Amino acid sequence: MQLDQTHVAVRVRTLSEIGDLMLVLIYQYPKMLFSSFLIGAFPWIIANTLILGWIPLVEMEFGWDDEQSAGRLFSYLVLMGFLIFLQVPSAGVVTTVALGQAVFEKQPSVRRALSSARKRWKSWFYCLAVRRLAVPMMFIAAMFSLGLGESDFVTLAWFLVVILFLIALVIRGSKPYVPEMILLELCPLRSKDPGQITLSKRSRALHRAAGGDASGRWVGTSVMLMVIAGGLFYSMYWLRGVIVGYWDIGRVVLLVFYPAALWIAGALSVVLRMLCYVDSRIRTEGWDVELAIRAEVLRQFPEDEGFGEATVSGRSASQKNVAATPEPATPEPATPEPATPEPATPEPATPEPATPEPASLRGGG
Protein backbone atom coordinates (compact mmCIF):
# COMPACT_ATOMS: atom_id res chain seq x y z
CA MET A 1 0.00 0.00 0.00
CA GLN A 2 1.32 3.42 -1.00
CA LEU A 3 0.49 5.88 1.77
CA ASP A 4 0.85 8.84 -0.57
CA GLN A 5 -1.62 7.30 -3.05
CA THR A 6 -4.77 7.40 -0.93
CA HIS A 7 -8.20 6.61 -2.29
CA VAL A 8 -9.42 9.99 -1.02
CA ALA A 9 -7.09 12.82 -1.98
CA VAL A 10 -5.42 14.19 1.16
CA ARG A 11 -5.23 17.96 0.68
CA VAL A 12 -6.53 21.21 2.13
CA ARG A 13 -10.18 21.89 1.26
CA THR A 14 -12.72 24.63 1.82
CA LEU A 15 -16.06 23.89 3.47
CA SER A 16 -17.84 23.85 0.11
CA GLU A 17 -15.28 21.38 -1.27
CA ILE A 18 -15.80 19.19 1.80
CA GLY A 19 -19.52 19.20 1.05
CA ASP A 20 -18.82 18.13 -2.54
CA LEU A 21 -16.54 15.34 -1.30
CA MET A 22 -19.28 14.17 1.06
CA LEU A 23 -21.63 13.74 -1.90
CA VAL A 24 -18.94 11.84 -3.81
CA LEU A 25 -18.44 9.45 -0.89
CA ILE A 26 -22.19 8.90 -0.57
CA TYR A 27 -22.35 8.11 -4.28
CA GLN A 28 -19.31 5.82 -4.04
CA TYR A 29 -20.30 3.94 -0.86
CA PRO A 30 -24.10 4.12 -0.44
CA LYS A 31 -24.48 0.58 0.91
CA MET A 32 -21.55 0.87 3.32
CA LEU A 33 -22.69 4.21 4.75
CA PHE A 34 -26.33 3.16 5.08
CA SER A 35 -25.63 -0.20 6.71
CA SER A 36 -22.91 1.06 9.05
CA PHE A 37 -25.02 3.96 10.33
CA LEU A 38 -28.13 1.81 10.66
CA ILE A 39 -26.19 -0.68 12.80
CA GLY A 40 -25.15 2.09 15.16
CA ALA A 41 -28.46 3.96 15.21
CA PHE A 42 -30.85 1.00 15.56
CA PRO A 43 -30.53 0.58 19.37
CA TRP A 44 -31.09 4.31 19.90
CA ILE A 45 -34.14 4.28 17.60
CA ILE A 46 -35.69 1.45 19.63
CA ALA A 47 -34.93 3.22 22.92
CA ASN A 48 -36.43 6.53 21.75
CA THR A 49 -39.56 4.78 20.53
CA LEU A 50 -40.01 3.03 23.86
CA ILE A 51 -39.55 6.28 25.79
CA LEU A 52 -41.58 8.71 23.67
CA GLY A 53 -43.44 6.65 21.06
CA TRP A 54 -46.60 6.31 23.11
CA ILE A 55 -47.25 10.06 23.05
CA PRO A 56 -48.35 10.29 19.37
CA LEU A 57 -50.19 6.97 19.64
CA VAL A 58 -52.32 8.20 22.55
CA GLU A 59 -52.60 11.93 21.96
CA MET A 60 -53.58 11.69 18.28
CA GLU A 61 -56.88 10.27 19.48
CA PHE A 62 -57.71 13.85 20.46
CA GLY A 63 -55.80 15.55 17.65
CA TRP A 64 -54.11 18.92 17.40
CA ASP A 65 -57.33 20.77 18.20
CA ASP A 66 -57.18 19.74 21.83
CA GLU A 67 -54.93 22.17 23.70
CA GLN A 68 -53.49 19.65 26.14
CA SER A 69 -52.81 17.07 23.43
CA ALA A 70 -51.19 19.69 21.21
CA GLY A 71 -48.85 20.66 24.05
CA ARG A 72 -47.81 17.06 24.62
CA LEU A 73 -47.27 16.49 20.90
CA PHE A 74 -45.10 19.58 20.75
CA SER A 75 -43.11 18.25 23.73
CA TYR A 76 -42.64 15.00 21.81
CA LEU A 77 -41.22 16.86 18.81
CA VAL A 78 -38.76 18.84 20.95
CA LEU A 79 -37.60 15.89 23.05
CA MET A 80 -37.17 13.61 20.06
CA GLY A 81 -35.08 16.25 18.30
CA PHE A 82 -32.89 16.75 21.39
CA LEU A 83 -32.37 13.01 21.85
CA ILE A 84 -31.37 12.37 18.24
CA PHE A 85 -29.02 15.36 18.28
CA LEU A 86 -27.22 13.96 21.34
CA GLN A 87 -27.21 10.35 20.12
CA VAL A 88 -25.81 10.89 16.62
CA PRO A 89 -22.08 10.76 17.62
CA SER A 90 -22.63 7.41 19.36
CA ALA A 91 -24.75 6.09 16.51
CA GLY A 92 -22.05 6.97 13.97
CA VAL A 93 -19.14 5.08 15.53
CA VAL A 94 -19.18 2.26 12.94
CA THR A 95 -19.51 4.78 10.10
CA THR A 96 -16.55 6.76 11.45
CA VAL A 97 -14.29 3.68 11.46
CA ALA A 98 -15.47 2.67 7.98
CA LEU A 99 -14.72 6.17 6.63
CA GLY A 100 -11.25 5.96 8.14
CA GLN A 101 -10.74 2.77 6.12
CA ALA A 102 -12.11 4.45 2.99
CA VAL A 103 -9.29 7.01 3.02
CA PHE A 104 -6.76 4.26 2.23
CA GLU A 105 -8.86 1.40 0.89
CA LYS A 106 -11.12 1.21 -2.13
CA GLN A 107 -13.47 -1.30 -0.52
CA PRO A 108 -13.87 -0.63 3.23
CA SER A 109 -15.42 -3.43 5.27
CA VAL A 110 -18.40 -2.82 7.53
CA ARG A 111 -17.64 -6.04 9.38
CA ARG A 112 -14.10 -4.93 10.24
CA ALA A 113 -15.38 -1.49 11.21
CA LEU A 114 -17.97 -3.07 13.51
CA SER A 115 -15.33 -5.29 15.09
CA SER A 116 -13.04 -2.32 15.69
CA ALA A 117 -15.85 -0.24 17.23
CA ARG A 118 -16.85 -3.15 19.45
CA LYS A 119 -13.34 -3.42 20.87
CA ARG A 120 -13.47 0.23 21.93
CA TRP A 121 -17.09 0.31 23.09
CA LYS A 122 -16.32 1.22 26.71
CA SER A 123 -14.32 4.28 25.70
CA TRP A 124 -16.69 5.68 23.11
CA PHE A 125 -19.85 4.87 25.09
CA TYR A 126 -18.54 6.65 28.16
CA CYS A 127 -17.30 9.71 26.25
CA LEU A 128 -19.97 10.05 23.56
CA ALA A 129 -23.08 8.69 25.27
CA VAL A 130 -22.56 9.44 28.97
CA ARG A 131 -20.26 12.45 29.18
CA ARG A 132 -21.91 14.10 26.17
CA LEU A 133 -25.29 13.74 27.92
CA ALA A 134 -27.16 11.40 25.58
CA VAL A 135 -27.92 8.88 28.32
CA PRO A 136 -28.77 11.52 30.98
CA MET A 137 -31.14 13.17 28.51
CA MET A 138 -32.85 9.82 27.92
CA PHE A 139 -33.48 9.45 31.66
CA ILE A 140 -34.92 12.96 31.84
CA ALA A 141 -37.09 12.30 28.79
CA ALA A 142 -38.39 9.11 30.44
CA MET A 143 -39.18 11.04 33.64
CA PHE A 144 -40.85 13.74 31.56
CA SER A 145 -42.89 11.14 29.71
CA LEU A 146 -44.05 9.45 32.90
CA GLY A 147 -44.92 12.72 34.65
CA LEU A 148 -46.86 14.49 31.93
CA GLY A 149 -49.90 14.79 34.17
CA GLU A 150 -48.10 16.75 36.90
CA SER A 151 -47.43 20.34 35.97
CA ASP A 152 -44.74 20.97 38.60
CA PHE A 153 -42.76 17.93 37.52
CA VAL A 154 -43.06 18.89 33.85
CA THR A 155 -41.70 22.37 34.61
CA LEU A 156 -38.67 20.91 36.40
CA ALA A 157 -38.09 18.44 33.58
CA TRP A 158 -38.19 21.20 30.98
CA PHE A 159 -35.67 23.20 32.99
CA LEU A 160 -33.28 20.24 33.14
CA VAL A 161 -33.74 19.53 29.43
CA VAL A 162 -32.85 23.08 28.42
CA ILE A 163 -29.81 23.20 30.74
CA LEU A 164 -28.44 19.88 29.51
CA PHE A 165 -29.00 20.82 25.89
CA LEU A 166 -27.10 24.10 26.29
CA ILE A 167 -24.21 22.29 28.00
CA ALA A 168 -24.16 19.71 25.20
CA LEU A 169 -24.06 22.49 22.59
CA VAL A 170 -20.97 24.01 24.22
CA ILE A 171 -19.20 20.64 24.51
CA ARG A 172 -19.98 19.56 20.95
CA GLY A 173 -19.09 22.93 19.49
CA SER A 174 -15.76 23.29 21.27
CA LYS A 175 -14.52 19.70 20.80
CA PRO A 176 -16.15 18.23 17.70
CA TYR A 177 -13.43 15.69 16.79
CA VAL A 178 -13.41 13.53 19.92
CA PRO A 179 -15.08 10.54 18.16
CA GLU A 180 -12.25 10.37 15.59
CA MET A 181 -9.62 10.56 18.33
CA ILE A 182 -11.18 7.62 20.17
CA LEU A 183 -11.97 5.41 17.18
CA LEU A 184 -9.20 6.23 14.68
CA GLU A 185 -6.30 7.51 16.75
CA LEU A 186 -7.09 5.02 19.54
CA CYS A 187 -6.26 7.51 22.29
CA PRO A 188 -6.77 6.00 25.76
CA LEU A 189 -8.89 7.82 28.30
CA ARG A 190 -6.11 7.64 30.86
CA SER A 191 -2.68 6.08 31.11
CA LYS A 192 -0.10 5.41 33.80
CA ASP A 193 2.64 6.24 31.31
CA PRO A 194 3.20 10.01 31.49
CA GLY A 195 4.64 10.02 28.00
CA GLN A 196 1.58 8.46 26.33
CA ILE A 197 -0.89 10.72 24.56
CA THR A 198 -4.26 10.43 26.29
CA LEU A 199 -7.59 11.64 24.94
CA SER A 200 -7.53 14.87 26.94
CA LYS A 201 -4.00 15.76 25.76
CA ARG A 202 -4.79 14.94 22.15
CA SER A 203 -8.08 16.84 22.21
CA ARG A 204 -6.42 19.88 23.74
CA ALA A 205 -3.62 19.84 21.17
CA LEU A 206 -5.79 19.53 18.05
CA HIS A 207 -8.71 21.74 19.05
CA ARG A 208 -6.48 24.53 20.31
CA ALA A 209 -4.43 24.40 17.12
CA ALA A 210 -7.58 24.45 14.98
CA GLY A 211 -8.85 27.43 16.99
CA GLY A 212 -12.20 28.88 16.08
CA ASP A 213 -12.12 27.26 12.65
CA ALA A 214 -13.35 23.91 14.02
CA SER A 215 -16.15 25.50 16.03
CA GLY A 216 -17.12 27.80 13.16
CA ARG A 217 -17.35 24.88 10.76
CA TRP A 218 -19.42 22.95 13.28
CA VAL A 219 -21.91 25.80 13.59
CA GLY A 220 -22.07 26.27 9.81
CA THR A 221 -22.62 22.59 9.09
CA SER A 222 -25.24 22.36 11.88
CA VAL A 223 -27.31 25.14 10.34
CA MET A 224 -27.00 23.53 6.92
CA LEU A 225 -28.04 20.13 8.28
CA MET A 226 -31.08 21.63 10.01
CA VAL A 227 -32.21 22.99 6.64
CA ILE A 228 -31.57 19.58 5.04
CA ALA A 229 -33.58 17.83 7.78
CA GLY A 230 -36.48 20.23 7.26
CA GLY A 231 -36.35 19.65 3.50
CA LEU A 232 -36.30 15.88 3.93
CA PHE A 233 -39.26 15.96 6.32
CA TYR A 234 -41.33 18.14 4.00
CA SER A 235 -40.42 15.97 0.99
CA MET A 236 -41.61 12.80 2.71
CA TYR A 237 -44.75 14.54 3.96
CA TRP A 238 -45.50 15.96 0.49
CA LEU A 239 -44.83 12.64 -1.26
CA ARG A 240 -47.19 10.83 1.10
CA GLY A 241 -49.87 13.45 0.48
CA VAL A 242 -49.55 13.18 -3.29
CA ILE A 243 -49.57 9.39 -3.37
CA VAL A 244 -52.06 8.52 -0.63
CA GLY A 245 -54.06 11.75 -0.43
CA TYR A 246 -53.69 12.25 3.35
CA TRP A 247 -52.26 15.61 4.33
CA ASP A 248 -52.79 15.40 8.07
CA ILE A 249 -49.87 15.32 10.51
CA GLY A 250 -50.72 12.02 12.14
CA ARG A 251 -49.02 9.04 13.69
CA VAL A 252 -47.04 8.04 10.60
CA VAL A 253 -45.65 11.53 10.16
CA LEU A 254 -44.68 11.86 13.83
CA LEU A 255 -43.37 8.33 14.41
CA VAL A 256 -41.69 7.68 11.04
CA PHE A 257 -41.10 10.76 8.89
CA TYR A 258 -39.93 13.14 11.61
CA PRO A 259 -37.33 10.83 13.24
CA ALA A 260 -36.20 9.53 9.83
CA ALA A 261 -35.44 13.04 8.57
CA LEU A 262 -33.41 13.79 11.70
CA TRP A 263 -31.48 10.52 11.54
CA ILE A 264 -30.62 11.03 7.85
CA ALA A 265 -29.31 14.51 8.64
CA GLY A 266 -27.35 12.98 11.52
CA ALA A 267 -25.75 10.44 9.19
CA LEU A 268 -24.65 13.26 6.89
CA SER A 269 -23.17 15.08 9.89
CA VAL A 270 -20.96 12.07 10.67
CA VAL A 271 -19.48 12.11 7.16
CA LEU A 272 -19.00 15.89 7.25
CA ARG A 273 -17.34 15.77 10.66
CA MET A 274 -14.91 13.08 9.55
CA LEU A 275 -13.87 15.08 6.47
CA CYS A 276 -13.50 18.28 8.52
CA TYR A 277 -11.32 16.34 10.97
CA VAL A 278 -8.98 15.20 8.19
CA ASP A 279 -8.82 18.75 6.82
CA SER A 280 -8.01 20.16 10.28
CA ARG A 281 -5.16 17.69 10.69
CA ILE A 282 -3.76 18.67 7.31
CA ARG A 283 -3.95 22.37 8.16
CA THR A 284 -2.55 22.20 11.69
CA GLU A 285 -0.28 19.12 11.66
CA GLY A 286 0.76 18.66 8.04
CA TRP A 287 -0.71 15.16 7.87
CA ASP A 288 -0.35 15.04 4.08
CA VAL A 289 3.39 15.72 4.39
CA GLU A 290 3.70 13.05 7.09
CA LEU A 291 2.06 10.46 4.82
CA ALA A 292 4.37 11.37 1.94
CA ILE A 293 7.47 11.02 4.14
CA ARG A 294 6.33 7.71 5.59
CA ALA A 295 5.57 6.38 2.11
CA GLU A 296 9.01 7.37 0.84
CA VAL A 297 10.75 5.79 3.83
CA LEU A 298 8.73 2.62 3.28
CA ARG A 299 9.86 2.50 -0.34
CA GLN A 300 13.49 3.05 0.62
CA PHE A 301 13.44 0.67 3.59
CA PRO A 302 10.72 -1.92 2.90
CA GLU A 303 11.84 -4.01 5.87
CA ASP A 304 10.59 -1.28 8.23
CA GLU A 305 6.96 -2.42 8.09
CA GLY A 306 5.85 -0.55 11.20
CA PHE A 307 6.77 2.83 9.75
CA GLY A 308 4.24 2.50 6.97
CA GLU A 309 1.27 1.41 8.99
CA ALA A 310 -1.71 2.94 7.19
CA THR A 311 -4.05 4.41 9.77
CA VAL A 312 -5.75 7.75 10.19
CA SER A 313 -3.83 8.12 13.43
CA GLY A 314 -2.09 10.91 15.22
CA ARG A 315 0.74 8.57 16.18
CA SER A 316 2.46 6.55 13.51
CA ALA A 317 3.65 3.04 14.23
CA SER A 318 7.23 4.15 13.98
CA GLN A 319 6.64 6.53 16.87
CA LYS A 320 5.18 3.71 18.91
CA ASN A 321 8.28 1.58 18.30
CA VAL A 322 10.78 4.25 19.23
CA ALA A 323 10.85 3.20 22.84
CA ALA A 324 11.42 -0.44 21.88
CA THR A 325 14.38 0.32 19.65
CA PRO A 326 17.63 -0.01 21.63
CA GLU A 327 20.07 2.81 21.30
CA PRO A 328 23.47 1.90 19.90
CA ALA A 329 26.11 1.43 22.56
CA THR A 330 28.54 4.31 22.79
CA PRO A 331 32.15 2.95 22.74
CA GLU A 332 34.26 4.06 25.68
CA PRO A 333 37.35 6.02 24.73
CA ALA A 334 40.47 3.88 24.90
CA THR A 335 42.99 4.88 27.60
CA PRO A 336 46.38 5.46 25.96
CA GLU A 337 49.16 3.38 27.45
CA PRO A 338 52.28 5.25 28.57
CA ALA A 339 54.96 5.19 25.92
CA THR A 340 58.09 3.13 26.89
CA PRO A 341 61.27 4.98 25.91
CA GLU A 342 63.48 2.94 23.67
CA PRO A 343 67.15 2.61 24.73
CA ALA A 344 69.42 4.97 22.81
CA THR A 345 71.79 3.16 20.46
CA PRO A 346 75.33 4.55 20.77
CA GLU A 347 76.69 5.78 17.50
CA PRO A 348 80.18 4.35 16.53
CA ALA A 349 83.07 6.78 17.09
CA THR A 350 84.57 8.07 13.90
CA PRO A 351 88.41 8.26 14.16
CA GLU A 352 89.77 11.67 13.37
CA PRO A 353 92.49 11.73 10.62
CA ALA A 354 96.06 12.23 11.89
CA THR A 355 97.52 15.65 11.23
CA PRO A 356 100.97 15.32 9.42
CA GLU A 357 103.82 16.92 11.18
CA PRO A 358 105.85 19.64 9.36
CA ALA A 359 108.95 18.56 7.44
CA SER A 360 111.25 20.54 9.67
CA LEU A 361 110.41 18.27 12.53
CA ARG A 362 111.07 15.03 10.68
CA GLY A 363 114.40 13.36 10.86
CA GLY A 364 116.77 13.66 7.90
CA GLY A 365 117.84 16.59 5.98
DSSP letter string, 243-274? HH---S--HHIIIIIHHHHHHHHHHHHHHHHH
Residue 8 within a domain: no
* pLDDT on residue 149: 57
List all residues 6 or more positions away from 267 whose beta carbon is below 8 Å from its beta carbon. 33, 34, 37, 41, 88, 92, 95
Residue 5 within a domain: no
* pLDDT on residue 308: 47
Distance from C-alpha of 176 to C-alpha of 225, rounded to nearest angstrom: 15
Q: What is the pLDDT of residues 305-361, one digit of tens each?
A: 544 444 455 444 444 433 333 444 444 444 445 444 444 444 444 444 444 443 333
The vertex-93 CA angle with 109 and 202, nearest 5°, equals: 110
Residue 337 within a domain: no
**Total structural domains within the chain:** 1
Q: What is the percentage of the chain residues whose pLDDT exceeds 70?
A: 77
Residue 330 within a domain: no
What mean pLDDT is predicted for residues 65-78? 90
pTM assigned to the model: 0.80
The vertex-189 CA angle with 188 and 193, nearest 5°, equals: 65
What mean pLDDT is predicted for residues 248-270? 95
Closest CA to 270 of 10, 9, 22: 22
Residue 28 within a domain: yes
Q: Domain residues for 206? A: 15-320
Q: What is the pLDDT of residues 265-302, one digit of tens each?
A: 999 999 999 999 999 988 888 876 777 677 667 767 76
Q: Compute CA distances 89 → 86, 177, 267, 280, 302, whole Å.
A: 7, 10, 9, 18, 38
Distance from C-alpha of 275 to C-alpha of 208, rounded to nearest angstrom: 18
Judged by DSSP in three states, 136 sits in helix
* pLDDT on residue 144: 83
**Sequence letter at residue 347:** E
List all residues 6 or more positions away from 347 whose beta carbon is below 8 Å from its beta carbon. none
* pLDDT on residue 310: 44
Region label for 318, one of left (φ > 0), alpha (ψ between -120 and 50) or beta (otherwise): alpha
Distance from C-alpha of 183 to C-alpha of 313, rounded to nearest angstrom: 9
Q: Compute CA distances 77 → 43, 52, 175, 278, 293, whole Å.
A: 19, 9, 27, 34, 51
* pLDDT on residue 295: 65
Q: What is the pLDDT of residues 147-180, one digit of tens each?
A: 765 666 778 888 888 999 999 999 999 999 999 9
* pLDDT on residue 35: 96
**Residue ranges of the alpha helices (H) in the chain?**
15-28, 30-52, 54-59, 67-91, 93-104, 110-119, 121-124, 134-146, 151-174, 178-183, 199-210, 212-244, 251-252, 258-285, 287-300, 317-320
Distance from C-alpha of 187 to C-alpha of 247, rounded to nearest angstrom: 50
Residue 219 within a domain: yes
* pLDDT on residue 211: 75
List the single range of 108-117, 219-228, 330-339 with lowest mean pLDDT. 330-339
